[in-house]
Amino acid sequence: MQGTLTTNPVNLTDAEQGTRRPSKAYLIGPLLALLSIPAYLVWLDVSLLRSTALQSFALMIAGTVVGLMTLKTDRRRRVKAAAIGTGGFLLLGTGMFFFATKLPQPAGAPEVGARVPGFTLPDQTGQPVSLASLYQRGATLLVFYRGHW
Amino acid sequence: MSVDAPSVSLDVVERLALPFDILCDVDAAVVRQFGLLHTGGNPHGGDTTVPAMFLIGSEGKVLWRRVAQRIQDRPDPREILDAIERLAAAP
């Protein structure tokens, strides 16, 4: 009985301190998760990071973990909302990265060993160029890219 | 090559001082011929190409190729140069 009497006031002081200085720690998770966007754009030129977004996933996962850890000690509604939001952002980001960016599978693109279709197209100055005229001069790397916009 | 108009590609070649030409497949006919059409793939609604690379030997045969599975897939330049070196060394 005496034990409970002595611990109760201690708990009260803790709770009072909690209300006097509300912790902003719950903002760390969402902040980490949001940093995943600039982190992806900064390293767009590094092929590995462009194709895997490792740094962005690390930030989103770290943000979600931090959010769940904060939730253990701070049960306020805004803390819950931040943790749920961060986790949702991770799910949304994963979905966008892996599924929304899927491309149609090439239908009959020439395989290794196959002959390429012949064609003639204008270059950037309007001069017609045939593909054969390029590879007959030596091995040619033909790059199809999505264009500038 | 891309589906951009020559004027757009001329600007790219000049701005980046590219040592190679950009072919202009404005109506995506060659993209279609290569089976790489991405219908509505351009953010402005037009068609574009699935990003792809073909290394073509002097007899017009494909020696090496990469076709993107997702928009962000791009081979590392090192991987392309390695493929070229390996094929140049092969008999």
Q: What is the ipTM of this complex?
A: 0.92
Q: Mark whether B71 and B89 lie in a shared domain.
A: yes
* A45 min Cα distance to partner chain B (Å): 9
Q: Mark whether B25 and B64 lie in a shared domain.
A: no
Q: Mark whether B9 and B23 lie in a shared domain.
A: yes
Q: Mark whether B42 and B2 lie in a shared domain.
A: yes
> Which residue range(s) make up the domain with A25?
2-100
Closest CA to A31 of A94, A93, A89: A89
The pLDDT profile of chain A, 149 residues, written as one tens digit per residue, is: 444 444 444 555 555 555 556 788 899 999 999 999 999 999 988 888 988 899 999 999 999 999 999 988 888 999 999 999 999 999 999 998 888 888 888 888 999 999 999 999 999 999 999 999 999 998 999 999 998 87
Q: Mark whether B27 and B67 lie in a shared domain.
A: no
Report yes or no on whether pTM surpasses 0.80: no
- Provide the pLDDT for residue B91: 59
Smallest Cβ distance to B51: which of A110, A142, A144? A144
Q: Mark whether B21 and B43 lie in a shared domain.
A: yes
> Which residue range(s) make up the domain with B21?
1-50
Q: Mark whether B31 and B16 lie in a shared domain.
A: yes
A31 inside domain: yes
Task: Judge contact between B34 and A119, C-beta under 8 A.
Answer: no
B50 CB near a chain A CB, below 8 Å? yes
Q: Mark whether B56 and B42 lie in a shared domain.
A: no
Three-class DSSP category at B53: strand
DSSP A21: S
Residue type, A55: Q
Interacting residues of B64 by C-beta distance below 8 A, sequence separation 6+ = A112, B54, B55, B83, B84, B87
B69 CB near a chain A CB, below 8 Å? yes
B83 CB near a chain A CB, below 8 Å? no
Considering its fold, how many domains does chain A have in total?
1
A27 inside domain: yes
